[in-house]
Amino acid sequence: EKLIHIVNNLREQIYRFRVKYISQMDSYEGLVREHEEIVESIRIGNREKAEEITIRHIENQERAVIEMLD
């Protein structure tokens, strides 16, 4: 039960962070662009490019999270 409470608390904090981060217009536009690039790469069957963009996207999000926490 305690572990469930901890996980739920973490989910709530992540949700709040995502809302705050996405509400910043420049961040939102960048997120949409990255997702569009990933989808397009998958659509045309370019697995390597999709993987590269996905990794870049995750790294960008990691940096953004760290910056917001500082």
Model-level pTM? 0.66
How high is the pLDDT of residue 9?
Answer: 95
Q: Residue 19: what pLDDT?
A: 79
Nearest to 48 by CA among 57, 38, 36, 62: 38
**Residues of the domain holding 39:** 2-69
DSSP for 33-59?
HHHHHHHHHHHTT-HHHHHHHHHHHHH
Predicted local confidence at residue 68, as pLDDT? 76
Q: Which residues of the chain have pLDDT under 50?
A: none
Angstrom distance (rounded) from CA 5 to CA 59? 29
pLDDT value, residue 69: 74
What's the total number of domains in the chain? 1
Where residue 50 falls (left for φ over 0; alpha for ψ -120 to 50; beta otherwise) is alpha
d(CA 49, CA 52) in angstroms, rounded, equals 5
